[in-house]
């Protein structure tokens, strides 16, 4: 459920949310968090965000298919839709035969959800509730929790905490969660666009008679910075098979465990190239009733593009690889000190026999 657009040159429109001063007292931090939450929920009041999400066919159709494949678990049961937005998932659940759906939505888009529910003649089964799932009271426990909670790099925006709260408070024993599992992957990449932008400064003299090659180092420092860049990575730019470094089971993971999601990775390069970054992406899996296999929603660069794209981590300098060069390391994802809704990624990596290096990335523009 990620919904702030990032440009290809890393203009990250999140700075308005980054108002926490490290010298604030705990009380001031709490007030600041309240303001950050308000800004976060207000960002969902615009139609563009919901248009982008629903227009993402991979996302929306996978959820619809997963819900319909679980009709046997949903028919006649009670469903909680966490962060319901326009209510489209709630309607899918009602179409699958749910007896009652509680569509909980904290922002004003809930007013539109109510209209959509009425327009589809579902208001006898779907109840839209304005509020956060942490604060609302339901009249009964639920059999199913559905939520599109995923953010950029899976954990940006920290909405998974709300799903876990709903699980612990409202899910009946034996109930199901859609999706029920998430996995994080990483792969080394060579982004030619970055190299073209850097090489540009060597072409200025030929075009205009002014030597600006001294800008190269400055440009590299600006472009290869510590921002998490949300962008589309093409298959041709991926230099190895992706490696899974973390897995989350939504039936058992705790909010405390989400404060440090980490794992090791190791992969062999496909051929000769210059590694200038890594891409991070995720998958989520939906159980299918009476079937051993699961339905997977993937944001892999090897799969059709989604609005999540991939999270790109640019290195300070490229590293050369050959066929089967080992690229290994460890990734740790954790909430930013400035805002629990924003993530940081600490990357330690080694390419071949080179010395192990590290770099910390943030999705917050400073």
Which residues are designated catalytic? 148, 157
Q: What is the CA radius of gyration of the chain?
A: 22
HEC profile of the chain: CCCCCCCCCCCCCCHHHCCCCCCCCHHHHHHHHHHHHHHHHHHHHCHHHHHHHHHCHHHHHHHHHHHHHCHHHHCCCEEEEECCCCCHHHHHHHHCCCCEEEEEECCCHHHHHHHHHHHCCCCCCEEEEECCCCCCCCCCCEEEEECCCCECCECCCCCHHHHHHHHHHHEEEEEEEECCEEEEEEEEECCHHHHHHHHHHHHHHHHHCCCCCCHHHHHHHHHCCCECEEECCCHHHECECCEEEEEEECCCCCCCHHHCEEEEEEEEECCCEEEEEEEEEEEEEEECCCCCCEEEEECCCCCCCCCCCEEEEEEEEEEEECCCCEEEEEEEEEECCCCCCCEEEEEEEEECCCCCEEEEEECCCC
Question: Does residue 286 contact residue 294 with C-beta atoms inside 8 Å?
Answer: yes
Q: Are the C-beta atoms of residues 153 and 345 closer than 8 Å to each other? A: yes
Q: Are 235 and 213 in contact (CB under 8 A)?
A: no
């Amino acid at each position: 459920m990620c919904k702030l657009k990032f440009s290809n040159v890393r203009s990250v429109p999140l700075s308005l949310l980054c108002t926490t001063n490290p010298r604030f007292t705990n009380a001031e931090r709490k007030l600041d968090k309240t303001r950050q939450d308000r800004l976060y929920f207000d960002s969902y009041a615009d139609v563009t965000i919901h248009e982008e999400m629903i227009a993402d066919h991979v996302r929306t159709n996978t959820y619809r298919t997963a819900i319909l494949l679980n009709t046997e678990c949903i028919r006649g049961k009670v469903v909680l839709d966490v962060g319901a937005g326009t209510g489209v998932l709630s309607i899918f659940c009602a179409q699958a035969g749910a007896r009652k759906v509680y569509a909980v939505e904290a922002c004003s888009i809930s007013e539109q959800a109510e209209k959509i529910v009425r327009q589809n003649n579902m208001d006898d089964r779907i109840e839209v509730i304005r509020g956060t799932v942490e604060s609302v009271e339901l009249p009964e426990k639920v059999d199913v929790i559905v939520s599109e909670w995923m953010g950029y790099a899976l954990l940006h925006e920290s909405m998974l905490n709300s799903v876990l709260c709903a699980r612990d408070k409202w899910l009946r024993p034996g109930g199901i969660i859609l999706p029920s599992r998430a996995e994080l992957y990483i792969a080394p990449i060579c982004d030619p666009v970055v190299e073209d932008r850097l090489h540009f400064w060597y072409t200025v003299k030929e075009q205009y008679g002014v030597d600006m090659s001294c800008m190269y180092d400055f440009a590299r420092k600006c472009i290869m910075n510590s921002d998490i860049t949300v962008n589309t990575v093409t298959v041709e730019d991926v230099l190895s098979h992706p490696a899974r470094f973390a897995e989350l089971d939504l039936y058992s993971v705790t909010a405390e465990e989400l404060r440090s999601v980490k794992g090791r990775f190791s992969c062999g390069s496909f051929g000769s190239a210059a590694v200038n970054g890594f891409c991070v992406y995720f998958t989520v899996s939906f159980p299918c009733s009476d079937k051993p296999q699961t339905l997977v929603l993937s944001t892999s660069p090897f799969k059709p593009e989604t609005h999540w794209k991939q999270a790109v981590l640019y290195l300070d300098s490229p590293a050369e690889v050959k066929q089967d060069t080992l690229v290994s390391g460890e990734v740790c994802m954790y909430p930013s000190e400035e805002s629990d809704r924003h993530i940081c990624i600490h990357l330690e990596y080694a390419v071949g026999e080179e010395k192990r290096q590290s770099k910390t990335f943030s999705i917050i523009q400073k």
